[in-house]
Amino acid sequence: MTPGALAQAAIDLLDEIIEAAKAGGAAADTLIARYFKTRRYAGSKDRRAIRDLVYRAIRRAGNVPFSGRTALVGLAREDDAVAALFDGSVHAPAPIGPSELGSAAAALPDWLADRIAFEEHAALLERAQLDLRVNLSRTDRATMAALLDAVPTPHSPAGLRLPEGSPIETTEAWAQGLFEIQDEGSQLIALAAEAKPGMTVIDLCAGAGGKTLALSDEMRGQGRLIASDSNRARLSRLAPRAERMGGLAIETRLLDPGRERVALADLEDHCDVALVDAPCSGTGTWRRNPEARWRLTPARLSQLVELQARLFALAAMLVRPGGALVYAVCSLLPEEGRNQVDTFLARHPDFAADKLMFIAGREEGAGRLLTPAHDRTDGFFVARLRRA
């Protein structure tokens, strides 16, 4: 492909990504994969170049661009090499007009810019590193570090870190289930549960099961572990992952939104630990999914806050007397983190804040907040509560 054709391909992709963000459609990485699947003529170098242009344009635009061209013109105004791609040749975008506007550079959407600490803005635009969680029931971190040429993460005792894009899924250790891809922050959330062999533990919002697998590792396959979620497609991804990790015995329950209590009635007052990694704005993960900034709106945030409160209360129903409830969100916003816990504790006097087993991050109300700038993890809030 010619240099100009690469730029036009990036514009076409950005158009798709912008529309999907507005409509709640597929994520950018999914759209990019689909795009190249139908364009076999694009070689590996072409694909890398196009992807780089797309993500550079996404990362610099905190607000939703008017179009893919607007997004790339904004980047071209800052980079002469990109501007040169707008040469009007065959398959290339038309030249940029002298008064043509490009999207403005901004780290965050305007309505959120003052609600997240300024020191985090630049960190939320950086590329995230690749973190792994070593399956400690089958190997040890030092062995995996040497095998994969990785370095230990600073906070999780099971974590390893490599440069982004390291081809670890082609290794024999991956095939044998000796490690999982998991950000160190997510590993710490699972560790906050303090799951032990013989316990009854539920991962209420399990998704594809990354934290469920971490809990299983802590439990050494002994006890009862339940993974539940309302998203069938995501929950179905847990079984093959568990099989690769050694055929772990994990119960799964697909929940009907609004009727979760019926599906979980037999677990009322029975769980030693209930983990609620609640659906959230994902502001702490924007390093990995920068176009997610375009999806979040004030109305959507309000809906999420309401859902979090409902799931929080549902989890409380499942915890036995003396048991623990761990609440977490991958968010930097107080209304999703400390405020949720404060409200919950006011409504549930039989629960009280419990000490977390790690000291990473900073104290935030009854929990702790970890952030990309301060801790080099995805941003998240976590609190551990104990029922009397």
Helix axis angle for 44-60 and 68-76, nearest 10°, is: 90
Q: How far from the centroid of its chain's Cα atoms is residue 21's Cα?
A: 16
Q: Which amino acid is at 305?
A: V
Give the whole-angstrom CA distance, residue 37 versus residue 175: 25
Write down the catalytic residue from 205, 271, 280, 330. Answer: 330
d(CA 243, CA 289): 28
Residues near 324 by beta carbon (within 8 Å), at least 6 away in sequence? 193, 194, 272, 273, 274, 354, 384, 385, 386, 387
Task: Report the C-alpha gap between 295 and 288 in whole angstroms.
Answer: 14
Closest CA to 191 of 318, 333, 377, 321: 377
330 noted as active-site residue: yes
- The residues annotated with a catalytic role in the active site are 330
